[in-house]
Structure formats: structure tokens, C-alpha cells
Copies of this chain bind each other. A is one copy, B any other.
């Protein structure tokens, strides 16, 4: 029983390592097998197929992101606004620091996702819940406003995701300073949830 788990763990660790080292595009079952010194088909004893292996890795990434966001949220439990800002920053940093991870987590087209819907979605959505609850706290304390917290949290996420995506794919104009860009993006994302009394009507 321990040996079964052992090889499964080695596969996951090696895959993550190869992913970071060589990128997603060049990753293959045979290459993973070579790296751990087993035959390619051995991997199929522990994972249904390549997708399933990646899904397991995605789950671990979601867990890690969740842990990081949770820690950030705890550090700013008193101020919803500071908390939301810190969460945004941490999200972007996570994406930039874990490029290949971010790619399989959020960039790859999830064609097969319908197969493992419930648990996977639930796990990914916890990350959004942390943001939504910062929003809810802010609304309650009167320092934020939103018509629908779920929608606002998703919109903020979309803005952050776009920021990370463009940065990772190097599509942002090189003349634009990376940090200035990220700061501007976060500022802009947060500006949307300011309380009504100081918020202007939309353009």
C-alpha cells in the first residue's frame, strides 16, 4: 500500500518538475516515465490517462493557491479593502511565480472538464469565495459596494486573470513596466467596488 502511493507521488512530483523545467508543450507520458525510470505504461496503473494525471496536478495547484490566499486573507482580517487588494496582488504573483502551473490550471482549454465536474469546480471556486467574502465584509462595513457580490468577485477575477495571461504570454507592450502595469490593473479592478456615494456613474 505504501509503495503504490509512493510511485503515484513520484509520478506527480516528476511531472510537476518537468513541467516547470521544460514547459507543457514538450511533456509526454513517455518522457515522464523515462525520468522516473519506469515504462510509460506504468503511469496508467495510477492515472486513467494523461488528462487525469494533469487533473491531479491541477488539484494540487488549486490547493496551493487556496492556501496562499487563505493566509493572505487571515493577515488582513480586519480591513476588507486591504484584504481584497492583498488577495489580488497575491493572485497575480502566484500566476507569475508559477507560470507552468498557472498554465495548466487556468490557461489550458478544459475540453474534458464535464467528466469530473463537481469536486473540481467546487475546489476551484473556493478561491473565488475568499474574494467574495472580502467583498461581502466590505459591503457590510460600508466601505465597498456591489450589486451582486458573486458577479463582482468574478469580474475582478477576470481582470486579474487577463493581467496574468497577457503578462505570461508576453503580449503586453515591452515598453510598459511590468509592475506599473500590474499595479494599474489591480487599482482598476478595485475601483469597481467602491461605495456608491463616491462612485461616479459609468462612462
Contacts and interface: CB of A to CB of B under 8 A. Distances in A.
A32 interface: no
A65 interface: no
Interface string A117-133: 00000001100100000
A144 B161 CA distance: 25
B84 A173 contact: no
Interface string A79-122: 00100110000000000000000010011011101000000000
A189 interface: yes
Contacts of A15: none
Contacts of A161: 162, 165-166
A19 to B, nearest CB: 13
A189 to B, nearest CB: 7
Interface string A148-159: 101110111111
Interface stretch (A5-13, A36-44, A67-75, A174-182): A174-182
B166 A111 contact: no
A90 to B, nearest CB: 16
A106 B107 CA distance: 11
Interface of A: 23-25, 81, 84-85, 103, 106-107, 109-111, 113, 124-125, 128, 143-144, 147-148, 150-152, 154-163, 165-166, 168-173, 175-176, 180-181, 184-185, 187-194, 198-200, 202-203
Report, nearest first, the 5 A-B pairs whose CB atoms are least far apart.
A162-B162, A188-B192, A158-B162, A198-B200, A161-B162
